Amino acid sequence: MVLGWTALFGVEPIALAALSTPLFICTLLLARGYPRWVPYLAAGAHGLAFVVYMHMAFSPPGAHVGLILTGIVATPCLVGAEIVRRHRHMVTTSERNRRERLEQQRRLVVSELHDTVVRDLSHAVMLAEQSRLAHPDDDLLQRELATVILPVRTALRQLRQGLKAMSTAKGDDALLLLASSPPPRLSETIAGSRASLADRGATLVEEGIELLDNPMITPGVHQQLVRVIGELITNASKYASPSSTVSLVVECDGRTVECMCVNAISSDVPTSSELSSKVGLDGAQRRIETLGGTFTVNRSAERWSVVFSVPIQV
Check residue 32 and give left, alpha or beta (phi > 0: left; psi -120 to 50: alpha).
alpha
CA gap 20, 1 in Å, rounded? 10
Q: How confident is the model at residue 271 (pLDDT cuts 50, 70, 90)?
A: very low
pLDDT above 50 (res 63): yes
Q: Which of 115-119, 217-221, 239-243, 275-279 has the lowest mean pLDDT?
A: 275-279
What pLDDT is attached to residue 249? 92
Are the CB atoms for 203 and 135 separated by under 8 Å? no
Q: Which of 9-13, 139-143, 226-230, 285-289 has the lowest mean pLDDT?
A: 9-13
Q: Is residue 254 left, alpha or beta, with left meaning phi > 0 and alpha meaning psi from -120 to 50?
A: left
Mean pLDDT of 48-65: 75
In this prediction, residue 267 carries a pLDDT of 58
Give the mean model confidence (pLDDT) for residues 114-133.
73
pTM over 0.85: no
Write down the architecture of domain 186-311 according to CATH.
2-Layer Sandwich (3.30)
Q: Would the pLDDT of 147 be above 80? A: yes
Q: Which residue has the higher pLDDT, 163 or 72?
A: 72
Which of 94, 72, 75, 79 lies closest to 31, judged by CA? 79
Q: What pLDDT sits at residue 261? A: 92
Each residue of 22-44: pLDDT tens digit?
Answer: 888 888 888 888 888 888 888 88
260 vs 11: CA distance, rounded Å: 81
> Span 72-82, mean pLDDT?
84
Check residue 171 and give its pLDDT: 55
Q: How many CB atoms lie within 10 A of CB 175?
A: 17
Most confidently modeled of 46-55, 61-70, 226-235? Answer: 226-235
Pick from 109-113, 154-158, 171-175, 238-242: least confident: 171-175
Contact 27, 81 (CB under 8 A): yes
Using 50, 70 and 90 to split pLDDT, how confident is the model at 272? very low
pLDDT at 279: 42
The overall average pLDDT reported for the chain is: 76
Please give the pLDDT value at position 258.
92
Q: Helix 12-31 and helix 37-112: axis angle, to 10°?
A: 30
What is the band of 259 on the pLDDT scale with cuts at 50, 70, 90? very high
- pLDDT band at 276; cut points 50, 70, 90: very low
Q: How far is CA 79 from the centre of its chain?
A: 34
pLDDT digits (tens, 9 = 90+) for 181-215: 566 777 888 888 888 888 888 888 889 888 888 88
Mean pLDDT of all residues in 128-136: 79
Condensed to tens digits (0 to 9), the pLDDT of residues 221-258 reads 887 888 888 888 888 888 788 888 889 999 988 889 99
Is residue 29 within 8 A of residue 40, CB to CB? The reply is no
Q: Where are the domains of the chain?
A: 2-92, 109-180, 186-311
User: Per-residue confidence at 133, pLDDT binned at 50, 70, 90?
Assistant: confident
Strands 256-264 and 203-207, sheet pairing: unpaired
